[in-house]
Structure 1
Amino acid sequence: MTDAVPFPPRRVFALVTAVLTLAAATTLANRVLPGWAYPLCGLTAALILIALGRAAGCTWADLGLSTLRRPALVGLAGAALVAAVFGIALAVPALRTIYHDGRVGDPDLGQLLWLTCGRILFGTVLIEEVAFRGVLPGLFGATDDRWRWPPILCSAALFGLWHALPALAIGRNAAVHAVFGATPVVVLQVLAMAAAGVAGLFLHWWRHAGRGVLASVIVHFTTNAGGLTLAVLVR
């Protein structure tokens, strides 16, 4: 009797192709494509990743896409918790510098809606949750019946690497600059990627608790879009 192969060739191929797809997507989105194409790039990459996961033998449950009701309820609970944290930060003057971010600019209402419901939802949240809380954990062997550290840590590590290019601008946040003002850019970049990896673990907990990617999508969107909106309001 032979031992079962944990990663059959088609799954290895899917993993390699998924990582290459993500590398191409982040490069295109951050260095090549115009701003209006950012959401299209994210949506296209997400669809490719789902197709790769299915072709590799992952079920819809493996990808976190088999149900909506429980993930939605858990995600809304997470969104309420995020909103409470935002409220506390706004109520404490010393914490408001978190929202002073030079990357925000001065968008009007229409631009803010485009940034939150266009760029953030489809260009950031959708691709990241489908990739790092859905397809990659599924390909690595994560399941909803129990928490398995190896596939979750692998996905979180890749999530950190995914932020390599965006992390170059992290020093423009007032709170980050106040603490790490004299720190070399490369060191800040590594710290930002490590923080993203840790955030990936927390987001995966919401996906795991909700038994679906929609839960982490809601929490992630509330965090990013809410943070941007508050940064615009308190600038």
Structure 2
Amino acid sequence: MLVLAAVLVPALGAWNNLVVHRLPGRPASYVVANVAATAVLLAAARASGLSWGELGLDRRRLAAGARWGGSCAAVVAAGYGTALAVPALRPLLGDARVAGLDGGELAAQALVRIPLGTVLWEEVAFRGVLLATLGRLLPRRGATAASAALFGIWHVRPTLAALSANDLAEGPLARTGAVLLACLGTAAAGVLFAELRLRSGSLLAPALLHLATNSLGVLAGAAASR
């Protein structure tokens, strides 16, 4: 298990920041690469002795995962709906990366790229394999904290891309501060996702919350810009 952790931690730290954005044929190749990486990671986890239950993939826990995740997703949906309904809050949802997308492109983002290329891969990697691996080596709080910290680091490059697309945080000092805050925020989200996974016993719980946050966020951002 120590060997798996020693390979997994640096691999995840590098994947989103140094590897996947260099793939030719993006964004389609992004989805294919991440789905393939998900399969490889699950195979490695099973070969290392992790059970389906440890990975959050025990079918007997699906109902609990649906209850926990569905409740959280409903809260997120209500939040986006409220922000869209209040004129003073609508600008907070704006995102130049989705403002010009047509209906088909938005559907591809919300129904394919995010569910398969982001949510499936990140939940299996961080709340599935990484959390289970660290859980064999560390106390529960330590495993949660370590997986959440790496999840924050995972978002360095995406944050820089978002800042650039929206012309925010000009200057190195402002960008550094914005990236640090974003990484701390995503690390905090990683703690929440990990707790959902552990309390429900199912990877479905954080996956539903993650999916609602990202996919509904894209749709809300597009609606706010129109």
TM-score by length of 1: 0.84
Per the alignment, residue 22 of structure 2 pairs with 31
Structure 1 residue 186 displacement after superposition = 2.3
Structure 1 residue 73 displacement after superposition = 2.3
* Cα contact 1:170–1:188 (8 A) shared by 2: no
Structure 1 residue 149 displacement after superposition = 0.8
1:1-235 alignment to 2 at 5 Å?
11-23=1-13, 25-26=15-16, 27-33=18-24, 34-67=26-59, 68-141=62-135, 148-171=140-163, 177=168, 184-235=174-225
More deviation, 66-75/24-33: 24-33
Residues 146-181 of structure 1: per-residue CA shift (max 9 Å, x gap): x9210000000010111121111232586x94xx56
Q: What is the Cα-based RMSD across aligned positions, in Å?
A: 2.3
Structure 1 residue 124 displacement after superposition = 0.8
- The aligned amino acid for 1:109 is G
Number of aligned pairs?
219
* Higher RCO, Cα 8 Å, sep 6+: 2
* Cα contact 2:151–2:186 (8 A) shared by 1: yes
TM-score by length of 2: 0.88
For 1:194 and 1:45, how far apart are their aligned partners in 2? 25
For 1:191 and 1:173, how far apart are their aligned partners in 2? 18
* Alignment gaps of 5+ in structure 1: 1-10
For 1:31 and 1:56, how far apart are their aligned partners in 2? 30
Structure 1 residue 114 displacement after superposition = 1.0
* Cα contact 1:25–1:45 (8 A) shared by 2: no
For 1:103 and 1:85, how far apart are their aligned partners in 2? 21
Structure 1 residue 233 displacement after superposition = 1.2
Residues 179-212 of structure 1: per-residue CA shift (max 9 Å, x gap): x566522222222111111111111222223211
For 2:113 and 2:214, how far apart are their aligned partners in 1? 11
* Cα contact 1:75–1:217 (8 A) shared by 2: yes
* Cα contact 2:23–2:30 (8 A) shared by 1: no
- The aligned amino acid for 1:31 is R
* Cα contact 1:160–1:193 (8 A) shared by 2: yes
User: Percent same amino acid at aligned positions?
Assistant: 35
* Cα contact 1:18–1:52 (8 A) shared by 2: no
* Alignment gaps of 5+ in structure 2: none
Structure 1 residue 140 displacement after superposition = 0.5
More deviation, 38-47/48-57: 48-57
The runs of at least 4 consecutive aligned structure 1 residues that moved more than 4 Å come to: 180-183
Structure 1 residue 23 displacement after superposition = 4.3
Structure 1 residue 70 displacement after superposition = 1.6
Residues 1:82 and 1:53: Cα distance change in structure 2 (over 3 Å): same
For 1:65 and 1:56, how far apart are their aligned partners in 2? 16
